[in-house]
Amino acid sequence: MLKKLLRRSYRNKKVNSEKSSEEEIKLNESNINSNLNKTVDSFKTIYSYPDNQDVVLRNIHISGSNKKAAILFINTITNAKSIEDYVISPLLQNQDSSKQIDEIITVQSLQTKNKISEIVTHINNGNAALFVEGENKAYLLGATNFEGRNVEKAENENVVKGSKEAFNEKSATNISLIRKRIKSESLVVESLIISKRSKNDLFIVYEKDLVNDKLLQNVKDRVNALDVDAIQNLSLLEQQIEERKYSIFPTILYTERPDRAASFIEDGYIVLLMDNSPDSLVLPATFWSFYHTSEDHYLRFPYGNFTRFLRILALFISLFTSSLYVAVVTFHAEMVPPDLLLAIAATREKVPFPAAIEVFIMEIAFELIREAGLRVPSPIGPTIGIVGALILGQAAVQANIVSPIVVIIVALGGLSSFAIGDISMNFTVRIGRLLLLFAASFMGLYGITALFTMAIFYMVSIKSFGVPYLSPLTPNYKSSKDTIFRRVLQKETFRPGYLKPKDMTKR
């Protein structure tokens, strides 16, 4: 039912998207006229001037050559000051009639275009267009100035040791952050327009002498095959290009750390950047890339592996504690050592619910606290935490709604899930935990194992852009064996073989 509805709504959307008037298309395809007035008029219609508040059209008179001219730009995304200083005033003050336009203007970048659609794209990107009487081309003056944040600290992927920079919403900044780390001429930043209406730019970043051409082509094909009006940012793009849309396992890595993105590029991965996305997409991604963090390699070998150990432990704890508790308490009570079993039985004596329901209540409560804590305005955030965790848990136990052991179990599982830093993998673990809990309450350990085995079968069959999800563990590829544990840096001499990079060795 639900699916049908969804599908129907998809279809409706498609119908809407076809609606773009033929006139407009015609206008966009044509070249500009040497008659200034006509040109200006057509641009006025394109930009709905003067209804459109931030579109600025200024007519000037070039005193040297005695020509009329007009400048068009959108002042919210253009640096008006630099246009004033480097374009308008030189033009007005010029007295030399022999000088060409491009000799007068002192702005950094200058292009000429004559197709209206191209000019429009440039204006939309924050450039100013200069039309001169009698010339059938427009001068495009680079003065882009989108508003945005500065480079700030990473919010989600914190590290103690290592760079603190994070991507921000400006792709130019992001590219600069990557270039700062890879000072190489072989680093290529390709740009593509991926949406029809909003004309969103996508930057494909890779090292041309490392990346596998087939992989690159695969990514490009998939991006080019997109047929949508707008893709605001990478989070949406991720969902557009991933292979298994219903799967609970993520197949594209999403990182906000330029150092992480850079190290992936150096291994032959491909990184996607977009405006408005304070992050990057790394593809293809394997299970391990979600499990790792950049700090694992910044810390010394034993420390790094210690955190890895903690993380794999946390992964299993958060996946299995609540389901194991339910399975053991309701199906395999004989497994528990007698003292503990009697203790559990004693605390459960007055609890009105079956163990499975009890754990479910607590799990849901925990997820609610978590979700609410995320959404509340930050000043009262900590309060929610205290109210939720302390008072709710304590009161629930005192009221004999849940037994104290369940609070421990659920809190332990919930807490451990925070150790998995990647947000997508985090969701995978949390959903997985609930599924396992279901399985456990029906068939105990048999249910858990059956589900777990199916999950393994599923995981090994996932492919992200042709790369098996669990490689290099299986299928085996030549690599630095950086899976559950990492090796000493000096021994990590290979790039991951599953990417088939052009250069396998790192030295």
Using CB under 8 A as the criterion, which residues of the chain lie in contact with another protein when the complex forms? Answer: 3, 212, 214-215, 218, 284, 328-339, 341-351, 354-355, 397-398, 400, 403-404, 438, 441-450, 452-454, 456-461, 463, 465-468, 470, 473-476, 500
The total of other beta-carbon atoms located within 10 Å of residue 83's CB is 24
Q: What is the DSSP string of 53-99?
A: TTEEEEEEEETTTTEEEEEEEETTTB-HHHHIIIIIHHHHH---TT-
Q: Which is nearer to another protein, 376 or 473 (CB)?
A: 473
Q: Least distance (Å) from another protein to the CB of residue 346?
A: 3
Q: Least distance (Å) from another protein to the CB of residue 328?
A: 7
Q: Which is nearer to another protein, 390 or 423 (CB)?
A: 390
Question: How far is it, in rounded angstroms, from Cα 32 to Cα 251?
Answer: 46
Q: Which residue is listed with tokens 């299993």? A: 316
Q: How far apart are the first and last CA of the chain?
A: 56
Q: Least distance (Å) from another protein to the CB of residue 402?
A: 9
Q: Which is nearer to another protein, 387 or 454 (CB)?
A: 454
Q: Least distance (Å) from another protein to the CB of residue 296?
A: 21
Q: Least distance (Å) from another protein to the CB of residue 449?
A: 4
Q: Which is nearer to another protein, 25 or 454 (CB)?
A: 454
Q: Which is nearer to another protein, 132 or 271 (CB)?
A: 271
Running DSSP on this structure, what letter comes out for residue 328?
H
Q: Least distance (Å) from another protein to the CB of residue 471?
A: 9
Q: What is the DSSP string of 100-128?
A: -HHHH---S-EEEE-BHHHHHHHHHTT-E
Beta bridge partners of 112: 139
Question: How far is it, in rounded angstroms, from Cα 475 to Cα 163?
Answer: 34
CA distance to 17, 321, 358, 401, 441, per residue, from 354 (Å): 53, 17, 6, 11, 10
Q: Least distance (Å) from another protein to the CB of residue 332?
A: 4
Q: Which is nearer to another protein, 10 or 95 (CB)?
A: 10
Q: Which is nearer to another protein, 298 or 458 (CB)?
A: 458
Q: Which is nearer to another protein, 177 or 215 (CB)?
A: 215
Contact 300/307 with Cβ under 8 angstroms?
A: no
Contact 259/162 with Cβ under 8 angstroms?
A: yes
| Both structure tokens of 466 | 């042709």
Q: Which is nearer to another protein, 148 or 497 (CB)?
A: 497
Q: Least distance (Å) from another protein to the CB of residue 407?
A: 10
Q: Which amino acid is at 11?
A: R
Secondary structure of residue 140 in the 3-state scheme: strand
The total of other beta-carbon atoms located within 10 Å of residue 97's CB is 11
Q: Which is nearer to another protein, 366 or 465 (CB)?
A: 465
Q: Which is nearer to another protein, 193 or 391 (CB)?
A: 391
Burial class (CB in 10 A: 0-12, 13-18, 19+), 221: exposed
Q: Which is nearer to another protein, 146 or 442 (CB)?
A: 442
Q: Least distance (Å) from another protein to the CB of residue 385?
A: 22
CA atoms within a 13 Å half-sphere pointing along the CA-CB vector of 461: 8
Beta bridge partners of 206: 188
Of 276, 273, 284, the C-alpha closest to 176 is 273
Q: Least distance (Å) from another protein to the CB of residue 450?
A: 5
| Both structure tokens of 11 | 């279809």
Of 501, 423, 464, 459, the C-alpha closest to 284 is 464
Q: Least distance (Å) from another protein to the CB of residue 7?
A: 9
Q: Could you tell me which residues come within 8 angstroms of residue 54 by beta carbon, excluding any fewer than 6 positions away?
A: 74, 75, 76
Contact 480/494 with Cβ under 8 angstroms?
A: yes
Q: Least distance (Å) from another protein to the CB of residue 458?
A: 8
